[in-house]
A and B are shown apart, each in its own frame.
Chain A
């Protein structure tokens, strides 16, 4: 089996046992990228030389008998809104940061490097992580490996596609309103959004600070757990990262959760949900029932009905502030011609930002303006509290919540670009979790007749990632969706 078909856990094990060298693993990943990425465009930059150098260092450590780290030799792709100081640009998929090289590594990148991971490249995304299809990248869209006429979801579409296409076993993404879970669902991989505060945001280019969270992609639950293990924990440089030790996510992964109580929110199966997606999700719930779990219908009145509206006030407001710094003065792109300072600001920003980013900056600027703040931003924060309470109440009765990650499977490129609202609704099941700051995961739970993956979303209370992963693993053991290969034979299935 070529190394790229191996999971991160397998690669790590093979390298530790010296059956595979880190250099071979890196070479294999780089070859896969070269072969597959022209059709997918998951990567914005590939650091072949850097990857080989890091791999050689892991091999040296192993040869010297040193601890090569938790991720020894595992090739990893990084969403391009995470800062890396390896000479690769950190663009956020935006013209305004085209060619900008970060002078520092994000906390998560530092962690990965410390654990021996080999960073092979930076992945495509919707500009500044704003979007659900990766079509908003200034450097061209990413395509879904299962059907290149379709989008991979977004905003972490590059990372999801890179893992789905087996170019890399694992990747990092960021999730603000569903940007890990939704593309994971559309690309048929596992994507985890940790509890807000579980992973340091230091070095993640901010979109909406109170929502952004970094998380792993993998083809298996164990790989997601492995990557989370490496990045979770307190970091003094992020005041919102919680000072609470991360448990061992791998140790008990194979242990099923006994007497599992699954909450099934009525609102997750309402209008707009595609029939095939619903069928696949209900079948997955059936698998859990057969495993002894109890399904309990619950209500999340605010978390679905008001979540999108609230999210589209909170996130753009914070974005309008976070993106104020891109003005062409200190770094990044400056308009080539301008008449004075104000003109320089206006032209640099007008030319540097894409439409969706401008749309959100305008929404946010409006919502924070004097006279509107109370009616919009402040009100949104109040509704956010109600959303959080919905989940708190639900978790008094159940261990987790399950439903579809996305209302539909992958849609075609260009299908929703003219209608931002229909694009926003792709996150209807994912934003509630982000607004509440709880943990969520999307795992593959089947395919549509057209051969497109469907994702099951599982949500659990803050800082219960360990149990969430075990719950996801219970199902994964029963099915073989992850064995299917895009463009290959359809041998996977329950």
Chain B
């Protein structure tokens, strides 16, 4: 069996910080850029005698995410202690969920990267589980020569959601697409900000290759490599691609030895600057975390009505909405993708579209005018000084021919600058389109008289001369004439 037929089998464990004001078990603020060890208390420092108290908001956000991932919320979930010694973990155990997590068996649809495995351009990725746990602090090692490390425990106890996918992903690109979709979902739901720079989202891909079958017809796999602690989409894609290639090489060098059966699961690190992974722990060195039920916290027995209330509050998810925009509004795929990437932008778009009753035109305005301003100023739609009603009114003016599209773009900028409404600006600056054909005809005649050389050029076959004549006429109208009408009249006159 050659590795040419190998199918990458990739699963992803994703950790993301939940958007809570306070930590998971104490009242300390979650604050990313505070002075080291200034957001700590006896509880998150793991001092003798302290006890954890569950942050209900964190549980709610976790359930919200689990529901959006179509997970089942069980009758009972419990908390467990996971033990390992490291100076960034004050209690030397992490409160997590081991065998009864709060969300089980869901899925997430992502845009298919390799249509061969997709149906209708989409791919469904299974979700094994969603659970809540606490983050650790940060350990910083002394510069070269120093023989000490320092620890900042501001992050210790920050609520962390772990989402574990089925090994349904089949390429590095797909792993990235899944990670991106998960981020979009979390942000959409208000579950997390997922700011990569602040370390609010981290990834651990598991990579193995399925290579044909063994003697008994069972699928044969290369060992599972778990790559720890990746913190960007790019590193996910690169690390997975690297692992796939490495597995191919290892397998080709030793087809009988390099198997899951023999080597099990190994843990690897990733050097982003060099673009290589390295072995951290083999199967034999695997940690025994000595999980056991956390005796300081009562099991989580969700109230069904509460769960249903959260379910009802889950908004339409980005992927579903994107498809609806394409189907219901006739938008191009790309535009639908841009408009649904941010829930607030999508809400704004739909609000304007409903008012202006022209979804395609509104999409055009969103893509050309609104998004450009947001990108240039690096602001969110909420900070745009324009209401959906205001924009709809402007689009209405263009639609009924009061002003032309390019004047509309200027009015849009003036609305942002002055806060005035579109009709106010149009009236004040006398921008209303010159719609009267007689008036335009008079202007055309003047232009033709003044540009006899150009007219001759046109009649002599230089069709490009028409553009110049249109431009001259528009200039004469102060930009207020409808360019389409100008064009028609010009062609008629020149043909006479």
Contacts and interface: CB of A to CB of B under 8 A. Distances in A.
Nearest to B293: A381
B276 interface: no
A457 B290 CA distance: 36
A337 interface: no
B51 A324 contact: no
Contact of B51 (A208, A239, A318, A331): A239
A324 B48 contact: no
B42 interface: yes
B365 interface: no
Interface in B47-68: 47-54
Given A103-B42, A103-B47, A365 B290 contact: yes
B85 interface: yes
Contacts of B494: none
Given A317-B292, A369-B290, A373-B292, A97 B83 contact: no
Given A239-B297, A317-B292, A368-B292, A327 B51 contact: no
A102 B87 CA distance: 20
B492 to A, nearest CB: 84
Interface stretch (B90-98, B197-205, B319-327, B440-448): B90-98
Contact of B295 (A203, A209, A326, A365): A209
A222 interface: no
Prevailing SS type, chain B contact patch: loop
B301 interface: no
Interface string A55-97: 0000000000000000000000000011100000010100001
A321 B93 contact: yes
A204 B52 CA distance: 13
Contacts of A325: 46, 48, 90-92
Interface in A361-407: 365, 368-370, 373, 377
A324 B86 CA distance: 11
A202 B48 CA distance: 10
B51 A202 contact: yes
B93 A318 contact: no
B102 to A, nearest CB: 16
Given A345-B85, A369-B288, A369-B290, A239 B48 contact: no
A204 B290 contact: no
Interface in B232-248: none
Interface string A309-351: 0000000011011001111011100000000010001000000
Given A97-B48, A103-B47, A368 B290 contact: yes
Contacts of B83: 321, 324, 368
Contacts of B118: none
Nearest to A204: B49
A81 B92 CA distance: 20
Contact of B49 (A205, A320, A326): A205
Contacts of B129: none
Contacts of A106: 49
A210 interface: yes
B42 A239 contact: no
B419 to A, nearest CB: 48
A321 B296 contact: no
B49 A102 contact: yes
B46 A321 contact: no
Interface string A288-319: 00000000000000000000000000000110
B81 interface: yes
Interface string A183-219: 0000000000000000001111110111000000000
B81 A321 contact: yes
B145 to A, nearest CB: 16
A90 B93 contact: no
A331 B47 CA distance: 8
Given A239-B53, A327-B85, A102 B48 contact: yes
B437 interface: no
A244 interface: no
B51 A321 contact: no
A100 interface: yes
B182 interface: no
Interface in B93-110: 93
Interface in B276-317: 288, 290-292, 295-298
Contacts of A283: none
B292 A324 contact: no
B45 A330 contact: yes
Given A240-B298, A345-B85, A370-B288, A324 B49 contact: no
A279 interface: no
A274 interface: no
A238 interface: yes
A327 B53 contact: no
Contacts of A209: 295-296
Interface in A391-432: none
B90 A321 contact: no
Contact of A324 (B42, B47, B91): B91
Interface of B: 42, 45-54, 81, 83, 85, 87, 90-93, 151, 288, 290-292, 295-298
Given A208-B295, A240-B295, 10 more contacts: A90-B49, A100-B48, A239-B298, A240-B298, A324-B83, A368-B83, A368-B291, A368-B292, A370-B288, A373-B291
**What are the 5 tightest A-B residue pairs by CB atom distance, in nearest-first order?**
A324-B92, A209-B295, A368-B290, A210-B295, A205-B48
Interface of A: 81-83, 90, 92, 97, 100, 102-104, 106, 201-206, 208-210, 236-240, 317-318, 320-321, 324-327, 329-331, 341, 345, 365, 368-370, 373, 377
29 contacts: A90-B48, A92-B48, A102-B42, A103-B42, A201-B51, A202-B49, A202-B50, A203-B50, A204-B49, A205-B48, A205-B49, A206-B48, A209-B296, A237-B53, A239-B53, A239-B296, A240-B295, A320-B290, A321-B290, A324-B83, A325-B48, A329-B87, A330-B45, A330-B87, A345-B85, A365-B290, A368-B290, A373-B290, A373-B292
